[in-house]
Amino acid sequence: MLQFFPIGLTFAASIAFADQPPPVPPRTLTVTTTSYNPEPGQTDHAPCIGASGRDLCLAAREGDRTIALSRDLLAYYGLGGRYRWHDKVRLRSAAPGCNGVFSVEDTMNVRFSRRADIFSADRAQNVGRCIATVEPFGQ
């Protein structure tokens, strides 16, 4: 079967042969990690609502750490990603603020790839920029 999916302004083809299983995404990936806040300049028209439909501001007040992943890491966009809404992922980094278990609740602008964006309700909690590995947690 021949499948086409957009990548930027070009199209890439993926050929699946009947005798070969589809490729499995790697379990652990290295990503650039940043943070974002519920502000109009950093989000869409509903700053506290993630692409999953979850209220991220409420989740932060309840102590749940949430994250946005670039579209190449999400299963919904046909780019080979493995993660779905509400999946738990673990980030590991030398930077303390970039470590922990997060719930996947949002996505990033299409221009980003191999990226994770940690949601912070308060700018004072921003982690800056770090390199981390992302892997499934509890699966």
Q: Per-residue pLDDT tens for 64-122? A: 999 999 999 998 876 778 899 999 999 999 998 899 999 999 999 899 999 999 999 88
Domain ranges of the chain: 22-136
CA atoms within a 13 Å half-sphere pointing along the CA-CB vector of 37: 11
Q: What's the burial of 51, exposed, middle or buried (CB within 10 Å: 0-12/13-18/19+)?
A: middle
Superfamily for domain range 22-136:
RlpA-like domain (2.40.40.10)
pLDDT digits (tens, 9 = 90+) for 5-36: 555 554 455 555 556 665 555 688 899 999 99
- What pTM, to 2 d.p., does this model score? 0.77
Calculate Rg over the CA atoms of the chain. Answer: 16
